[in-house]
Amino acid sequence: MKSVKALIVMSVLALAACESAAPQLGPDGKPLPQLYKITAKEAGVIPQRVLESVNSLRAARGTAPVVLNTQLMAAATAHAQDMASQNRPWHWGSDGSSPLDRARRQGFMGHILGENISETYETETETLSAWMALADTRDVILNPAATQMGFGWYQEASGKIWWTMVTGQ
């Protein structure tokens, strides 16, 4: 009898867990977005995950892969933080700096080919997908002249994420 009661209790707990795992739906019937919080563990894998995704997209177009460049990553991260402090996504720094200026500050002496920016609550892969949907940002990602890439972000306490990608050669 005890085993039957234990089985019933376990079944009820399992069903309760299933209910809480179901996504909440909005008025349109679609799942409500979930807050994407970048943890220390996530932060450690995001650059590699983006690099692999970018290089898969480039390979599908017959374009050579890019490599991560620490100087471009530092420039991208600094710009993401600066955009957050300005509370606007744009390509100019609060000090009037351009993507080239920011890369030079970090010691990058190559050519800057492009910069993609975003202000969103979306993940890095959702952001990359949104960039691929627009010709001008897609061209930055797929530019055959690009050999190096920097990718950085800043996440506010509210969950809003400022993403920056810089490509160069």
pLDDT for 34 equals 72
**pTM to 2 decimals?**
0.80
pLDDT for 117 equals 98
Supply 141's token pair.
């990602």
Per-residue burial over 92-114, b if 16 or more Cβ lie within 10 Å, else e, is ebeeebebeebbeebebeeebbb
pLDDT for 63 equals 97
pLDDT for 10 equals 46
d(CA 146, CA 136) in angstroms, rounded, equals 15
The residue assigned the tokens 């993401």 is 80
What averages of pLDDT result for each successive group of 10 residues across the chain (169 residues)? Answer: 48 46 71 79 94 98 98 98 94 94 98 97 94 97 98 95 97
